[in-house]
Amino acid sequence: MKENKIKILLAGTGGQGVQTLAHVLSHAAFKSNMQVSLVSNYGLEQRGGMSLAYLQISTAVITAPRFSEPDYLFLMSEEARPRIVKYIKKTKHFIETEKYKEILKQNDLGIQSFNVLLLGIVSKLLCDSKLVSEKIIREELKNKLGEKKNWEENLKAFEVGFNKS
C-alpha cells in the first residue's frame, strides 16, 4: 500500500503559539492512529527568539525526524524567515501567513488567536488528506485550550480557519 505522508514545517517567533499548534496537530494525528514525528527547535532565549516545529504524519513508520523538503512551510513571523530561507526552494507549498492577519480583523479576532486560526487552516488540510479525523482535532483543541482564557475566541478562530475556502 502506498504511503500517505505529509511533512509540515512551522516557523515563527517564540510566544506566537507555534508549539501549541504543533502539539494539537501531532496529538490529534497520534490519536487518529497515525505514525507521527514532531521535533521542535528553539533559540537560546527563554522569551522570543525563533520557534520551529517539524511535523510529519504518515501511514508508515517515520525513521528520520527532520526533513529539508517540506510539503507545507508556514512562515508565521518575519523574524523566523532567515532560519527557513534555505527550505523555501524545496518546499511544495510555501505559505506566508501574514496575509491571514486580514481574516482576523474581518472576524473581530485578536492577534493572540492567530495560531488557532492557522490551526484551523492546517487541520482542514490534514482532514482533506485523510490523515487526521476532524472530530479528534476538535477534541485535542479542547483538551489543550479549553480551560484557558479566550476559549470562545479561539474556538471561533479555529472555525474561521477550518471553513476558509
Partner 1 sequence: MAHKNKFSRAFLTGAEVIVKAAQDVGAEYFFGYPITPASEIAVDWSQATKKNKQLGFLQTEDEIAAGFAINGSVLAGRPAFSATAGPGTVLIQDGLSMAEAMRLPVVVVVAQRGGPSSGTVIYSQQEVNLAIYGGNTEGMRLVYSSSTLEELYQNTQKAFINAWKYRFPAIVLTDGYQSKTRGVLEVPSTSKKLKSQPLVVLGANQHLPNIFTFEEELFVKLQKDVKDFNKMAEAVIGYEEFNTRGAEILIIAHGTVGGVAKEAVQKLLKKKVGLFRPITLNPFPKTALNKLAKKVKKIIVIESSLGQLERLVRANLDENTKVDHYLRPGLGIEVDEIIKLITK
Which parts of this chain interact with partner 1 (CB under 8 A)? 26-27, 30, 33, 35-41, 44, 61-69, 90
3-state secondary structure of 89: coil
Residue 18, H or E segment: helix 18-31
Give me the least distance between CB of 39 and partner 1, in Å please: 5
User: From the CB of residue 90, how many other CB atoms can be counted at a distance below 10 Å?
Assistant: 12
- Report the residue number, 65 or 82, with the smaller CB distance to partner 1: 65
Which grid cell sits at 50?
525563533
3-state secondary structure of 38: strand
- Report the residue number, 29 or 109, with the smaller CB distance to partner 1: 29
- Report the residue number, 87 or 94, with the smaller CB distance to partner 1: 87
How deeply is 85 buried, as exposed, middle or buried, from its count of CB atoms within 10 A (0-12, 13-18, 19+)?
A: exposed
- Report the residue number, 27 or 144, with the smaller CB distance to partner 1: 27
Give me the least distance between CB of 12 and partner 1, in Å please: 17
Give me the least distance between CB of 92 and partner 1, in Å please: 14
